[in-house]
Amino acid sequence: MAAPYQEIAAEIRRLIAVGELRPGGRVPSTRALVRDYGIAMATATKVLTTLQQEGVVHARPGVGTVVGPAPRPAGSPVVSGVLSKEQVVRSAIRIADEEGLAALSMRRVATELGVSTMALYRYVGGKDALVLQMVDTAIGDFPPPAQRPGSWRAGIEAAARQQWSAYRAHLWLASAVSIGRPQVLPNLLPHTDAVLRAVAGFGAGADTAMYAAVTVFGYVRGVALNLETEAQAEQDTGMTADEWADHQAGRLATLVVDQDLAGFRALGMPGGFEFDFDLDQLFEFGLGIVLDGLAVKLQRLRAPLR
């Protein structure tokens, strides 16, 4: 008896064969497979991974998984008997960018590079070690500015925005870094150091300085965790966040009236209230609030003792 993932993969192959799924057309996402077939996310991922390895489908950035073999990306490594750590890590990053971190495996990277799975271990160790190197490489492409900023606030803003850009470029990255048990990585430490340098002139103690750095880092990462979720939701529903909000407007208006939600009423709900949801704007708005609060804390450190 075939495993569930094999049965679902066979059904997708059939749909392609009979023309219901055409070349370049989107195939169901992992979330859609979970919903439609009642399977676990790991099983859904295995379905698409199997089809990708067979060359039946491929991941297209910003679109999802589509019918047809993947074109070789421009500038992708061509292995001719010699492999490098950089090739392995960059290939893994490309897979995670296009298919998500759940699709990443040593076997998947080996297939991408055209080598045996065992050949990878001498360069990057196991998968956990590979993910750490992916994080270090990805964040390393977005270093804090080398030039000393004009103010403490400008320094933190610059570092935070570089982090945000890294998360924007690699939607899997936010879920791969940790706040409670931060990874000690060469390219990650300068981002923490940027905040420590920014608050050093206020005479902050070690605890205050580190909590400031963790708070900023945690805020940026917290908002960034929504980037991948939103991209996946847009693929699954075919609606942007604003379109989804418009679709929910009637239900929201009903709940505002039924529950007599005074805060919403003050904004003009139900009726004329409009809200354009944008994660980039949310990031900037929240960063300003975080730094306003930090400014109050730092100024207190400078205030004379009574």
Element at 256 (helix H, strand E): helix 241-258
What's the mean pLDDT in 180-209?
87
* Residue range 114-138: mean pLDDT, rounded: 90
Would you place residue 39 in the very low, low, confident or very high pLDDT band (cuts 50, 70, 90)?
confident
What's the pLDDT at 4? 87
Domains and their CATH numbers in the chain = 1-68 (1.10.10.10), 72-140 (1.10.10.60), 152-238+276-302 (1.10.357.10)
pLDDT at 105 over 50: yes
Closest CA to 88 of 141, 129, 45: 129
CA–CA dist 292, 299 (Å, integer): 11
| Cβ–Cβ under 8 Å, residues 142 and 180 | no
Task: Please give the backbone phi and psi of residue 60, each rounded to the nearest 5 degrees, phi first.
Answer: -115, 120
What backbone phi and psi angles, to 5 degrees, belong to 66? -125, 160
Task: Please determine, for residue 159, whether its predicted confidence score (pLDDT) is greater than 60.
Answer: yes
Identify the pLDDT of residue 304: 46
Chain-centroid distance, C-alpha 176: 8
- At residue 71, the pLDDT reads 66
Q: How far apart are CA 247 and CA 245, in angstroms?
A: 5
C-alpha 2 chain-centroid distance: 34
Instruction: Name the DSSP class of 26.
Output: B
The whole-number pLDDT of residue 274 equals 66
Once rounded to an integer, what is the mean pLDDT over residues 241-261?
A: 73
pLDDT of residue 303: 54
pLDDT at 81: 54
Taking the C-alpha atoms of residue 109 and residue 99, their distance in angstroms, rounded to an integer, is 12
Give the pLDDT band (50/70/90) at residue 79: very low
- Its pTM stands at 0.70
Strongest mean pLDDT among 171-175, 184-188, 263-267: 171-175
Nearest residue to 90 (alpha-carbon basis) of 142, 45, 130 = 130
Pairing of strands 64-67, 57-60: antiparallel
Closest to 159 in 3D by CA, of 174, 142, 176: 142
Residue 288: pLDDT above 90?
Answer: yes
Say what the pLDDT of residue 287 is. 94
Q: What is the mean pLDDT of the chain?
A: 83
